[in-house]
Amino acid sequence: MKPPRFAYHAPRTLPELLETFNETADEAVVLAGGQSLLPMLNLRLAAPSHVIDLGRVPGLDSIASTNGSVEVGAMVTHYRMETDAVVAASVPLARRAAGYVGYRAIRNRGTVGGSVAHADPAAEWPIVLLALDGEVGLASVRGWRSIAAEDFFESVYTTAKRPDEIVTSLRLSTRCAHRWGFSEFQRRTGDFATVAVAVACAVEAGEICEARVAIAGVADRPMRCREAEAVLVGGSATAAADAAEAASDSVDPISDIHGSSAFRKRLVHAETLRAVRQAFSANEAGARDG
Residues facing 170 on adjacent strands: 72, 136
Q: What is the mean pLDDT of the chain?
A: 93
Query: Mean of the pLDDT values across residues 108-120?
Result: 95
User: What is the mean predicted confidence (pLDDT) over 234-259?
Assistant: 91
Range list of β-strands (E), the chain: 7-9, 28-31, 50-53, 63-66, 69-73, 135-140, 143-148, 153-155, 158-159, 166-173, 179-185, 195-204, 207-216, 223-224
Find how far residue 45's CA is from the centre of its chain.
23
Ramachandran quadrant class, 206 (left: phi over 0; alpha: psi -120 to 50; beta: rest): left
What pLDDT is attached to residue 1? 66
Euclidean distance between CA atoms 41 and 290, whole angstroms: 37
Query: CA torsion, points 43, 36, 220, 46, in degrees to nearest 10?
Result: -40
Q: Which amino acid is at 265?
A: K
Asked whether the beta carbons of 272 and 213 are under 8 A apart, the reply is: yes
Query: Does the structural domain 7-53 have CATH classification 3.40.50.300?
Result: no
- Please list, in sequence order, all residues whose beta carbon lies within 8 angstroms of the beta carbon of residue 260, skipping any fewer than 6 positions away: none
Q: What average pLDDT score do residues 25-48 get?
A: 89
What are the tens digits of pLDDT across the range 193-236?
A: 999 999 999 988 878 899 999 999 999 999 999 999 999 998 77
Q: What is the mean pLDDT of residues 230-251?
A: 92
The pLDDT of residue 287: 44
CATH class of this structure's domain 179-281? alpha beta
The pLDDT of residue 248 is above 90: yes
Tell me the pLDDT tens digit for each residue of 171-186: 999 999 889 999 999 9
- The yes/no answer on whether domain 63-173 falls in CATH 3.30.1540.20 is no
pLDDT band at 163; cut points 50, 70, 90: very high
Average pLDDT over residues 249-277: 96
Q: d(Cα 114, Cα 34) in Å, to the nearest integer?
A: 8
Look at residue 290 and tell me whether its pLDDT is greater than 60. no
pLDDT at 282: 54
Q: Where are the domains of the chain?
A: 7-53, 63-173, 179-281
Q: What is the pTM of this model?
A: 0.92
pLDDT in tens, 82-109: 999 999 999 999 999 999 999 888 999 9
